[in-house]
Chain A
């Protein structure tokens, strides 16, 4: 779990984040980049057992780039205007918080998790939906392959040059 990239920190506690799109992508688990719009299930699992005993509030908002929204400085009406989903504060005994949501358009979103009786711990995790993540891996691989071919070709030219100065050994 140490190297788990899908981990959220809420104050002193840890949660695990996973997104699923059963219709589009079957059992594949996503982290902060959900590949497509449409029906999505997000599950947050409490890693620390303390989280099972304290109320947790969850909010999904559109990422407007204005951080003040979720840091509580803005007034509630502004927050509500960008809120897409709100789960009021509640104790989750199983330690698992499932959220089902239908993302209608691609874009950047933020999840806000507030824990504790007074909402003393908060966590903010940005994620994207339906935004093609440019994966450079494949280009690196293709470039590597072409370089390998070129490298071998250069090497072969050297070998040929070595046998050309003819030593006519019977």
Chain B
């Protein structure tokens, strides 16, 4: 698989181009995707092996061993890693954003998009893959605890995972890109905070299931909070516009059209 894509190298049509044109490096994204894919596939295989086997009765010691342990490991591990990444992003922030060169700024916009490539990828797994898998679980077996083998994966592994990348995207933009450092981007905040609120929304879900909602109807109003918070993803449209506005200025600045006309 070709992972590096350089605009300059691949371009055959225009004349010679300096090497500095490489704006985007696909490598880190590919690695990120690979790691995430391995984690998600691993979790799915774990479910295949142990969900029905040890996950049906939350009172058994096997449940404790196979599922509660996973829960106890994944939460600190994912948030811990996230905390390290966030701290790193903050500590290595650009302390002189005013002096940034247009070329560097453009590259950082590309990097921001790379963050979004990871953020949206990680969101896909809860929204689609494990999300409907949760329906399979709860409509098939009898719910006996809030921490079911399905919830331990979809809520407590997948949700923290995309929060790590969401907050990472927000921090990257804020600490390295002038426009996002000089003002809070409303759509970016929405696109990061909205989906992150799915984690506290679980409280509503479990509360409802504990007190008045014994059977699983997926489209029950009790679950609408997930859909509603999912809609905040639309706000990435606003972020895209912010990025496009600034990038189009930078593109013209870095490669003015006059040089073409002169040719």
Asked if A and B touch directly (CB within 8 angstroms), the answer is no
Measuring CB to CB, which residues of chain A are less than 8 angstroms from any residue of chain B?
none
Measuring CB to CB, which residues of chain B are less than 8 angstroms from any residue of chain A?
none
